[in-house]
Structure 1
Amino acid sequence: MRARKIGVLTGGGDCPGLNAVIRAIVRKGVQEYGYEFVGFRDGWRGPLENDSVRLDIPAVRGILPRGGTILGSSRTNPLQVENGIRRVKENLADEEVEALIVIGGEDTLGVAARLADDYGINVVGVPKTIDNDLSATDYTFGFNTAVGIATEAIDRLHTTAESHMRVLVVEVMGRHAGWIALHSGLAGGANVILIPEQRFDIEQVCAWVTSRFTSSYAPIVVVAEGAMPRDGDLVLKDESLDSFGHVRLSGVGEWLAKQIEKRTGKEARTTVLGHVQRGGTPSAFDRWLATRFGLHAIEAVRDGDFGKMVALQGTDIVRVPIADATARLKTVDPALYEEVGVFFG
């Protein structure tokens, strides 16, 4: 009897912990269920163009602590490609793939939900995003690592800010959700934290900055890339779009530093952490969470529980419909943001 063949892909931005998921899926799938695995390269481009590689236990040895993904990733959207869905279905059939495990964020899993609900493809989802903005799961792997990297950067910038008595603006990732900014800003002792969920008043920001200088300490301002001024729109370097229609963010930190310098007369500089936040070795927590997600994803395949995503709720890994998990973003509660406001200024 032929062993069942399972496909695996990683889509969207790379993220610490992706390799841990792949390793767990393959190890358990081969050892306990006798499955065969094929990895599709570069996200949805792999099944779209039938570009794949065999995955077995030797192929996943030693990848647990590695950042990035051995399968590669991309923001390819088969829903926007002519005959894209037909090509994906035909290529999965040609490879004799009976089920597909999709590891990704809102966009990648959104495609997975369409394939499962509208086209009958056997899909299991694994949530991945450093922004931690997927609903239905308490945490996504990669977030803990990103917060740790941002916090360390803020810690280091305090000494430079105080040595030169200048304002340092730290721009972190966060398109629609300010979880990284909030967690790293609070942990790093920032004096101002700006998030996409709460439009900011530039005059209030400058007042907090000025207040900080009266204490003989220099201020650190942490701003999420998607944060917006009360009387303006997104600050962008350019308006180019990716294949999912998203503008490429970055620029609010530099804009904010110039505004602060202009309005307060204090020297201000910007540090954009950018891709540093999602590169490199995953934290112990992210390795643990990613591994558990992988183990439970292959169990969902074994059970034939398709159209579901594995999720962390409390300390338990549960299954939820992929469509429900991507229906809305998990954003910062205004009450939580207000809670940390005591440290501003």
Structure 2
Amino acid sequence: MASITSPDQSNELSNKPSRVAILTGGGDCPGLNAAIRGVAKTLMLRTKTEIIGIEDGFLGFIERRSRTLTYQDCSGILSLGGTMIGTHNRANPFDYKGEDHSAAVKRYYDELALDALVIIGGDGTLSIGYELTKLGMNIVGVPKTIDNDLMCTERTFGFDTAVSIVTDAIDRLRTTGQSHKRIMIVETMGRNAGWIALHAGIAGGADSILIPEHPYDIKLVADACNKRMGTHHFSIVVVAEGAKPIDGEVCTRETIKDSPEPTRLGGIGDQLKQQLEQLTDAEIRSTTLGHIQRGGSPTSFDRIFATNLGSYAAELVINKQYNCAVIQRGNQLSEVSLDCVAHKTRNIPNDDPTLQTALSMGICFGTKALFRRSAKSSEYE
């Protein structure tokens, strides 16, 4: 006998989304497939929503490329790195190859008859998403970036995996440093925020950590290295790609004019090596990890976290809470308006607990401007 749907149930189902698209933008990141899985399976099971995958980020909207994702498509992808629907970090709809394609993006959105679009990305992707909401697109953002620099959220997925990779590299470089009595420099990603360098530096037992938030005095760094060489005969220095010396400039690897993020940082590790060679007698080696930090399988934490974020985003879509981004605060998931995260960067504050831990342990940051916070008061010692 066929099941009978009550009028109330029928009205409830008719109010649920019927077609929702998913897009991954910006650089690839461990956990993207887990987030896609979390969004898609939650919507499929809760509301029988049809899921559309936009191929290669916003470029798929510009070039009108998409495909329907089945439940099977979204199975078996949890542990995979990269993104099953592709991404692109130069396809800004508002300025792609010198032209504004935003109206065409909105037309394709309408032709696909989408109830909503879930965008998974960092500040660049979510900033584009915010601008697209002004054209009438219903958007929910999911915070992804290894840099952990997105506003309003305590953490982004991909960060834990990146820190784990850098920590493993430091562990391996330490054995070389110990064996050859060298200063080993490790350059990390992070753009203009030092979250990866700070966390991996502590996890890897670095003696000096140089971050973009505080320009360094090379003499203070050299003093810390020489002191360490005198007692342990090797030293580990972790430097974020956006770090710079006092009265100096950040190192730029290349400039890509048609990219939402035209300035590509890199090279500070080699520059630091040259600077330290003038102030110490030790052999120095510099290693730049580069894209190794963002590739491969995500950690168990990032698999769970990305899945939680994706499922929460799906619930926002079901409840028609659009034009917002999922965030984590106090170990709880919540949401904020997209305009709160758009066009902003979250840097390390001076009272960050992990930074304060590093200062308490005597780790050098190349500056005298940082002070350890007293546990008994809100004042710095």
Q: Does TM, normalized by the shorter one, top 0.5?
A: yes
Once the 2 structures are TM-superposed, how far is the Cα of residue 213 of structure 1 from its aligned partner?
0.6
Matches within 5 A, 1:47-126: 47-75=61-89, 76-81=91-96, 82-116=99-133, 118-126=134-142
Deviates more, 1:34-43 or 1:81-90: 81-90
Q: In structure 2, give the amino acid aligned to 1:85.
A: S
Deviates more, 1:163-172 or 1:240-249: 240-249
Matches within 5 A, 1:54-203: 54-75=68-89, 76-81=91-96, 82-116=99-133, 118-203=134-219
1:277 partnered with 2:296: no
1:30 partnered with 2:47: no
Distance 2:261 2:189 in 1: 18
Once the 2 structures are TM-superposed, how far is the Cα of residue 164 of structure 1 from its aligned partner?
0.5
Once the 2 structures are TM-superposed, how far is the Cα of residue 181 of structure 1 from its aligned partner?
0.4
1:344 partnered with 2:363: yes
* Contact kept in structure 2, 1:174 and 1:196, CA below 8 Å: no
Once the 2 structures are TM-superposed, how far is the Cα of residue 256 of structure 1 from its aligned partner?
0.6
More helix by percentage: 1
Deviates more, 1:292-301 or 1:242-251: 242-251
Q: Deviations over 1:37-78 (max 9, x none)?
A: 110111110111111121111111100000110011111100
Q: In structure 1, give the amino acid aligned to 2:362.
A: F
1:299 partnered with 2:318: no
Q: Secondary structure at the match of 1:21?
A: helix
Corresponding position of 2:7: none
Structure-2-length-normalised TM-score: 0.87
Specify every segment of 5 or more residues in structure 2 that has no aligned partner in the other structure, as ranges: 1-13, 365-381
Between structure 1 and structure 2, the one with the greater Rg is: 2
Q: In structure 1, give the amino acid aligned to 2:48.
A: G
Closer, same or farther: CA 162–241 of 1 in aligned 2, 3 Å = farther
Distance 1:67 1:27 in 2: 19
Distance 1:96 1:210 in 2: 64
Identity %: 42
Distance 2:24 2:299 in 1: 19
Distance 2:114 2:316 in 1: 16
Deviates more, 1:320-329 or 1:23-32: 320-329
Q: Secondary structure at the match of 1:114?
A: helix
Q: In structure 2, give the amino acid aligned to 1:111.
A: I
Q: Deviations over 1:1-29 (max 9, x none)?
A: 89711111000011111000111111111
Q: In structure 2, give the amino acid aligned to 1:195.
A: I
Once the 2 structures are TM-superposed, how far is the Cα of residue 241 of structure 1 from its aligned partner?
4.2
Corresponding position of 1:210: 226
Closer, same or farther: CA 238–329 of 1 in aligned 2, 3 Å = closer
1:328 partnered with 2:347: no
Once the 2 structures are TM-superposed, how far is the Cα of residue 239 of structure 1 from its aligned partner?
3.7
* Contact kept in structure 2, 1:49 and 1:91, CA below 8 Å: no
Once the 2 structures are TM-superposed, how far is the Cα of residue 266 of structure 1 from its aligned partner?
1.7
* Contact kept in structure 1, 2:187 and 2:238, CA below 8 Å: yes
Corresponding position of 1:318: 334
